[in-house]
Structure 1
Amino acid sequence: MSSDHEALKQASERLESLERELRRTREELYRLMALVDRGPATVFLWRIAPRWPVEYVSANISRFGYDPEEFRSGRISWAELIHPDDTPRLDAEITRAIQDGTHGLVLEYRIITRSGEVRWVEEHALGLLDEHHRLTHYQGIILDITARKRAEAALLAGKEELESRVAERTADLTRANEKLRREIAQRQRAMEALQLDETRLEALLDLNLMTEASVKEITHFAMEEAVRLTRSTLGYLAFVNESETVMTMHAWSERAMYDCLIAEKPLIYPVETTGLWGEAVRQRRPIITNGYQAPNPWKKGYPEGHVELRRHMNVPIMEGGRVVAVIGVANKETEYDDADVRQLRLLGTGMWRILERKRVVDALKENEERYRSLFAVEPDALVLLDAQTGQILEANDSACQLFGYELEEFLSLTALDISAEPEKTRAVMDGWQPGRTDKVPYRNSLRKDGTIFPTEIAIRHFELQGRRLLYAAYRDITARVRAEAEMEEAHERLLRAEIEKKQFYRQVIRAVTNNKLHLVDLAQIPVEGELVLETSFDDPESYRALRQRVQQAAITAGMPEENAADFMLAVSEAAANAIKHAKDGRCALYVTPERVIARVSDRGTGIHPENLPATILTPGFSTKVSLGMGYTLMLEVADEMWLTTGPTGTVVQLAKWIYPERHVKEPDLQMWNNL
C-alpha cells in the first residue's frame, strides 16, 4: 500500500506539472496568435484538395473583410477569393508543385475583398507531410503587396516615358552630332585647302629666294612642287612659243625620267600633231583625264617604253592673253579636280612671273642687286625698309592695295605707321643682322582706314651700299585666323555637348532609381555621423576581415541582423570591384542615430560616361569580367547611394536605415515630370 500511495502521489505531481506546462504553452500560444493577428502577415493552413479548403486562418484576415470562421466552417474556400483571371495560373503552378513534390511555394496573385476591391497578395507556403511522407497541406503567410505593385506599375510607366524621352533626346543629339560632323568636315576641307595654299605660298617663297638659281633649276623646282601639291607621281613642264605652235619640254619629274624607257626622249612637240597633251594649248583651258586608258579622240597614243598613264591633267599658263607654258601632272591615286587645277594654275603663274622678273632683273644691270633682293621674297605684298629709321623705300602694287595707300603716300610712311604693334616692329628693326631671314607667323598690321588685320611677315636682312635694309613680304592671314577660330568654336561646342550629356545621364539615373542614386562630383558626397571604421583592403584576407567588421558594426548600431547581412553584401560588392579592377581600395564606415554609411574608394580608371547607365541599371552588365551583379545589387540593398567616377578612381557611398520602417519612400513622380 505504501508503494502504491507513493506512486499515486508522484503521478499526481506529474499531472500538476503537465497542467502548469500546458497553461504556459496555451498562454504563449495566445500571445503568439495575438501578435500574428496584429501583424501584417495573414497565417493560413489549407488542405490539398479541390478549391483549397482552409483549416486555419488568422484573425487578421478581417483586413480583407472576411471572418476566420467563414473559412474554418467551409462556407468560403480560399479559391473563391482569388481573381478569376489568376485562377488558371495558380491551379497550374500548385499542381506542378504537388507533382514535383515541391515543399516551398512563393506565389503572387490578386484576391477580391468582401467590398469588391481587388488587392495584390504574396503567398509564402511550406508543404506538410503525413506519416506516409505524402504532401497533404500547405501552411504559410499572405502579405498584402498592393502598394508595391502600384509603385512598380508607376515605375514601369515612368521608365517607358523616360525611354521615349531618351530616344527623342538621343535622336536630337544624333542629328546635332551629324550636323556638327558635317561642319567639322567642311572646316577640315577648308583647313586642307588652306594648308595647300600655304604649301604653295611656301613654294613661291622658296622660288623667290632662288635668286642665284638658273632657269632650269627654277622650272625643275616648280615642276616637282606641282607633283607634290597635287599628290601625283609624274610631272612635266613645257614652254610654248609666241605663235603657240610648238611646245618645248623643259623639265620632267625625277620619277618620270626613271620610269620612262624611251631611249631618246623628244624635246620639241608641234601643237598641231601632239595628242592629248596639246589640248590644253589648243583649247586654252585645263584638261583633266581621269580615265586615261579609256578611248579618247584626242589621244594619239604613245611610243613603246613610255611610262604608263592612268590619270592626267595639264594646265595652260596664260600671260598677256597667250599661252606661255604648260604644266602637267599624272597618276594621282585619286581623281583630279578643280582644286588641283587651282594649285597648278597659281603655282605656274607664280613661277612664270618669277621667271619674267628674273629676266627683267638680269636686264636691269644697274639695279640688279637692289631688285634681286626686292623680289627675293613673296611678290604679293613687298616692302623695302630702312632698318634704322623704318622708312618705307619701295613697295609693290599689292602692298599698296593691302594697306590702302597710293604709292607716293605709302613711301612717306615708316614701318611703325603700318603696324598695330609698333613695339614689336621696333624690336625687329633693332635686331638687324646681315643675311638673316625672319618669319613672323602673326603680327597685327594697320590699314589707312584704321582697320587692324592679321598678317604673316617674311623678312630678309641685307646691306646695300653700306645701308642696312629690311625686305618684308606681308601676307594677309585673315581667312586662316577665321578658320582657326571656327575650329576652336566647334571644339568648344563638342565639349559643351559632352558636359550636357553627362548632366543628362545624372538626371536619368536619379529619375530611374527614384532619387536613390546620386551621380555627383567627389565634393558633393556628404559626410555625416561618427567614424567607426577606416581600413584598407587589397587581398582576400583583408577583404574577409572587412566584411565581418562592416556587418558587426551595423549590428552594433542597432540594425537587424538580416539587414546588416544585406548591407555587408552590398559593401562587399563595392570592395570586390575595387580589388579586381583598381588598386588602393579603402573603406570608411560612419554611424548616425538613423543609418549606417559606408564609403568605398579606389584608384582606377573609373567607368566611362557612355557605360554609366548600363553599368548601374543592368544586372550583371560589365565592360570587364567578373563584376557580378555589381551596382544593381548595391542599388537593391542600399536606401541611398552616391557615386563619383573618373580616370583617377571611383568612390561609392552606401547608406542604409537602421530602422527602415521609419523611412518609407514613395516614388518621386515630380522628378519624372521634370525630366
Structure 2
Amino acid sequence: MDKQPVVRPIYVPGKNDIENERCFRYRLEAISAGVIIQDHEGKVIFANRAACSLFELDCDKLVGTTPFDSEWHIFYEDGAIFPPEELPSVVAIRTGKPIKNTLIVQFPNKPSKKCWFIVEAKPILNPDNTVAEVVITYDDITEEKRAQELLRLNEERLEALVKLYQMGNASLHEITDYALEAGVKLTKSKAGYLAFADENEQMFIMHSWSGGALEECQVKGMPIRYSIESMGLWGEAVRQRKPIITNDYSAPNPYKKGMPKGHVKLTRHMNVPVFDGDKIVAVAGVGNKDENYDESDVRQLTLLMNGMWSLLQRQHSEQIQRDAERRLADIINFLPDPTFAIDLDGKVIIWNHATEQLTGVKAEDMIGKGDFEYAVPFYGSKIPMLISLVLHPELEEKHPYPFIDKKNGKLMAETRTQAIRPEGAVIWGMATPLYDSQGNVVGAIESVRDITDRKKSEQALKEQKELLQLVMDNIPQYIFWKDRNSVYMGCNRSYSNAIHLESPAEIVGKTDFDLTEDKNEAELYRASDLRVIEMNTPLLHVVERRRMPDNRQVWLDTNKVPLHSEEGNVVGVLGVYEDITQRKMAEEELKERREREQQIQAEAEAAKREFYKGTIFSVTDGKLNLIGYDEMRSILAPNAQQLPLQSSSDFSALREAVETTARAAALSPDRVYELVTAVGEAAANAIKHANGGTAWVASKNGTIQASVQDKGAGMDALILPKATLMKRYSTRPSMGLGYSLILTLVDRVYLATESQGTWVLMEMSVEEPRTEMSIDNLPDTW
C-alpha cells in the first residue's frame, strides 16, 4: 500500500516496534474476515485485503474515508437507510463500548450489488480510557442470505402457485391480476404488465398492469393493442423468443422506440415469453427492482407465468367440457323426439321431456329403473326394445318389431302399439351404442317417434296421387314433368301412349335422348326445359310441328311452366301439350281463303284506281293527274322552299312565299291572285281537317309550283271522283272541299293520296294561258 496506516502496535516481547508493527499487519492480513481500523475521529487508517475485496476498492482509496461519506450506501435489512451515527464503529467511538452482531446491508462501490455483513466494532482505549482506535470486523454472509432469499422466494412462489391452482373458479382477470402482482412481489419489482398474443404472434393485447404501475402511470388513452413491429425493447422477448434482462434502462439501445409522456419511468426491466408448446401465447414483464435482475428472477417469473397459463388452459378445457356436457344435456332434453338412454346394467340414465310427454311418465319416476321397465310406457309390458338389442343382440327373438333395419351400428324399426293411443299408434325407433370420450361403450340411446299421423298423411297423399293420376290419364292433353336435369319424373297415360310406353311409370328416370333417335330434337326439348327452369318463367303456347313415333306429322300447342317446391325454389318443369292438328288445318284453310279474298279485293281496288285515274285525267283534259308519292317527289323542284303548316301564322307565311315567287317569275297579278287563292284553299283544309302538314313553293322551268301535304288518313279510291271533281264535296279526314275550285284556278294539279295523308301539287305556267274546264255535268254515279 502507498499509505502506511499508523496504529498503536501490539507489543511482542523481545522485538522492536517496527518488527511488532510488521507482525501485527501480517496477522490482520491472514484473517479471512474484513478488518478496518478507524482512529478516534472515525477515519480509516488501516484495511486488510479481505476488507478491500469486500468493498471492491483499492486499499489506498479506502484509507482516509469515514462512515459519513455518501458513497457507502448502507441500509437496514428492511431497506431503510442506516444512519451513519448509528453505525457500529461510530457508536463504539462515541460510547467506548464494543458493538456486536449488527446486520447491515451494503452496496459496496456498485449500487446494483447487494451484500449482507455481520459487523462488530471493538474500541481500543488509551490509558485515560478515551478511545484511541476502533477495530471493525466484517463477516460476509451474502451467500447465506441469498440462499435464504432463494428459499424464501421458492416458498413464496410455491405458495403463489398453490393459491393459483386453488383459483379454479376465479375469473380470468382475477387469475391474471393475482399472478401479475405475485410476479412483481417475487422479483421485488415496483411495476409489472401482462400482454396476450394473437394466434399468429403478430399482435399483442395489453391485458393488465400491476397496481404500482397504474398508480405511477399518468398516460391517458394508453393503447392496448400493439403489433410486433410497434413493440420496442419489451418486444425483444418475443422476437428473440427468450427472457430479456435490461439492468440499465437508460443506456442506449437500438430496440427502444421511446415512451409517451407520463409513462412509468424505468430503471431496470425484465420480461419473459410464455409458451404453449412452441407458440408464444403471452409476455409478462416487471420493472424497477432496486437491485439488478438475474436468472433467479427469470426463473421465478417464468415458473409463475407458466403456472398461470396452465391454470387458464385447465379452466378453458374444463369450461369446454362443461359446455359440451351442458349442450349435450340440453340437446337431448329438448330434442323434439322422445329420447332415453340406459347404462350397461340396463338402467335408465336419460329420459327427456319429449319422452315424458309421449308416455306420461316423469323422468324422476323412470331414472334408475332397469329390467325392461322402460318398455312398459311404450308397449304395456316388459319386453326388449331396440335399445335393449343394441347391448344384447341375443334378445332378438323376443322383440315386438316385424322387421329391424341394421345399418352402421344403428338399429331402426317401426311397429304398432296400443299403449300410446287407445285407437292404436305406429311408432318408429332408432337405437345406437353410447360411447364415452375414449370410445368405450357405456350404454345405449334410443329415439322414438310417433309416426301415426305421418302414416295417415302418407296414405291420404297416396290416395290423392292415385286420384290425380286417374284424372290426368283421362284427359286428352299430354302431360309430363321433369326435374332440373330434364329427367322425367312422371307423365299421364296419354303421353305414355303417344311415345309407345306400356305405362306412365316406365318414363321415370328417362330423358328425351332415350325417347327419340333425333338428337337435335332432344337437344331442343332440353334447351326449352332449361330456359323455363333457369329463368323461372313459363313458356306458353309454343305451336310447332312435330313428328310422332308413328311418323305422323302433327301440330302441337305446348306449354311449359316451372315446378316450385314449398319454399318457392324451382325443382323442375311441368309440360302440357295438345294436338291441334285439326284446328291448325282449319286455320290454314281459313287463312288461305282470306288471303285469296284480300288479293281479289286488292286487284279490284287497283283496277278501279287505274280506271278513275284515266277517267279523271280525261274529264279534266289532263289538268288533274292521280299519281303516287314517289312520282310526286320527282315532279317537285328539288330546290323548293319548305314551310310548316300547323297554325294560321304558317298560313300567312305560305301566302307570302307564293306571292314572292310568283311575282319574281313575272306572273300577272290576276294569275298570282288565282294561285294564292288555290294554295290557300289547300292549306286551309290541311290545317283545319288533316292535323296540318308541310308546304313547298318553287319555280321550275317557267312554272310556279305550290305543294301541300297533309297528315290526314288519305282518301279511299271509291270517293276520288267526287272528292276531286264534285263541288262542295268534303271528306273530313283529308282535303276534299275545294278540289273543284282549285282545278278552275290553276293550270295543272297532281294528286297523291295514301294512308299517311294526301299530297297535292299545283302548277301555274308563266307564259301559257289557262284553259277553262267545265265540271258542271259530272254523272251522279260519281
TM-score of the pair, normalised by structure 1: 0.35
Higher helix content, 1 or 2: 1
Query: Relative contact order (alpha carbons < 8 A, sep ≥ 6): 1 or 2 greater?
Result: 1
Structure having the higher Rg: 2
